[in-house]
Structure 1
Amino acid sequence: MVLSSGHSDQPQFPYVLNRRWQVTDKLGQGGMGTVFMAQDLNLPNLSDQKRSCVVKQLKDDFFREEDREKALQFFIREAQVLASLSHPNIVRVLDFFTQDGRSFLVMEYVEGLNLHEMLVKRQEPFDEEKVLEWAVQICDVLHYLHTHNPPVIYRDLKPSNIMIDVMDHVKLVDFGIARPYEDTEDNTHVVSQGYSPPEQYWGAADPRSDIYALGCTMYFLLTGQDPAALTVAAPQKLNPDVSDHLDSIIQRATQQDIWSRYQSALEMKDELTFPREKHTAGRPRPLLVACLLIVLSGLFLGGLKVLAMLSEQMQTAQKNVTEYSAEREALEADRKRIEAEREELKKAKMSIFQNALQAATGNNSNSGSSSGPNPGSSAPAASASLPKFPNFQESDEIELTDPEGLK
């Protein structure tokens, strides 16, 4: 079954478009048209999940002809731009055709929600680390667009145009107002209040316009509020948990003066990713703090254990020193005692020798005086019987085993 022209007939699901796309359900409707869920009939061997796709149908009931022509221009441009791009963070275009006077664009299906829907569902701002992760991915895709040949300016970067799939990957959708940067004849003034920079209001967008929109998107994710048109306040004023580093990045990206912003998505990405330690300076992360406390506790307990071991070793060493000193003192006392005993022994030996010598010389003197010399005789014969003693010095030591035998 095919959609009829006009807007009185409601199609019955399922129906097939362009002999390939089986439309199964309506996903939503906006000012430019309607979005449907569909299946690719050319992939019968794949699961429904892998065959799923999205069909965008441009509405045809505009009040003014020029509005219809402008909408068709955007629709065709989106198809052309998407067909020329190939990036994992950009939704892929699968088909573009006209049937029964209506225009259709078939794109890959992204399972997930856009960032605006996610924040509304969450009811509170996102964590800084999560915003940084998404912002880096967006910088990558913007760098791809801006360095494409020819360069492509997205011009409509905002939370509702950024899908997050089930793998937490960014997907940019809705390239209706994206255009090649070299298309200088296009002065289309299409803006999203709060996300479009000043220059876009008079049709002078360039790659730095997307940088501005990214800063505004990050502001929304961190504060939960849309930024004011043309003037973006510091996110820290609404969310004090935002680090100084990230706050300064957002403020620079959203400068009204185009030359005061980051001059490329790559430059902004470098600032977001280096140095990483600055990103969490504004608030301590609970897990990091807990881990740090555990480590410090371990170090403290380990330190106490080491101190106890050192104290025990010092006490043992002190005890050994005391015992060694006592042993030295005992040995010194023994040495002095032995020296004293040797000195006493030496004195005793000398006394014995002197007594023996005196006794021997005394007896000889008495013997000579009693007999008297014989006149006319030669040297007395008694002198031959005197004992012979060696010539001892005072310092000599002698062994006297029988001092009485000297008499």
Structure 2
Amino acid sequence: MSSQKTEPRLATRVATRLVKGGTSPAFEGGRAVNPPVVRASTVLFESMDEMNDARRRRGTERMFTYGARGNPTGFALEDVVAQLEGGYRTRLFPTGLAAISMVFLAFARPGDHVLIADCVYQPLRHFVDTFLRPWGVEVTYFCADGSDVAQQIKPTTKLVYVECPGSLVYEMCDLPALAEIAHRHGALVIADNTWGSGLQYRPLTLGADVSIMAATKYLSGHSDVMMGTVTTTQACWQTLATMSDAQGVAVSPDDAYLVLRGTRTLAARLAMHERNALEIARWLVARPEVARVFCPALPEDRGHALWKRDCSGTNGLVSFEFAQADAQTAGRFVDALTLFGIGASWGGFESLATVSNVAGTRTCTDWSRTGPIVRLHIGLEDPQDLIDDLAQAFARIQT
């Protein structure tokens, strides 16, 4: 007997027509440049055999079987990110922190030891204190440059987590050397690659096993969507996929569409961010109010040699230390800016400024004697206008 589904009987009553009509519109012609937004919780099949076959295969294959396991719009974004990162496959998460958390849930267990770089995104420390340690995972922080990893690693170490360049002041580490040490001891290397966006830094090609990005930042590029991505090697993929399915993690197809659209202009936008940021960084270096500018693309930055070896560019992030000022003065400087928004995120088209508490986010190195640090995200505005704004803010705090 044929399993071909018969055409539904033509409905004549209005309520039935409203439910059944317009679900599979037919059209002729070309195709859209971008994949359509596919909003779906329920997914329909032609037969029970087809549904059961899809369910049997979805544990290891990418199948459109239910909204909580992804949708075609999200699958398209996963493919773009996996290609960008040079990885096997990618999974999407509601936020960057959700992506980070899932990696630890997938690859760490009570009794394990994990090493985490001192320069990581501050909310990860909160996750460590509120979940990982109470769950029974031992955590040790290591120096941002990775110089003490060989001394800190243990037989129970399962993960070495790096962020390169680091948060706030952009320390570089020798990722290939760290990966060699970790792999020799049987540990995986996890890298937060939000700074590099897959375009300017590629941890998986440098030896990492898993790369995480906050797509909220440069992949989206418009400050209007939250998302995280995790891309892995083939060896690590199934562990991540299984735990993600068990947790029921999914993202909105509308959000996936927004990030997918943002990736189309990523290369062009980052080139502008880099050009503008370097112009402003060089201007800041010459300012008498500035003690130090943090940007690994500057030749005087202590991580410049590693940046030059491992990165293909920089982005819009530039931080600087005041030479003679207190935190209140730094705050007045930020308040005096007119073209810079005051905000904690970055990666959008707009310029932002905030005072960074580096000393409060580090435990391996002492930043307490450092002057106040302002973090700038240089956007796509004309850099001379931004320089004029910075200049007038410096003048304001002198009065």
- Which structure carries more helix by proportion? 1
Q: Calculate the TM-score normalised by the size of structure 2.
A: 0.25
Give the structure with higher Rg (CA).
1
Report which structure shows greater RCO (CA 8 Å, sep ≥6): 2
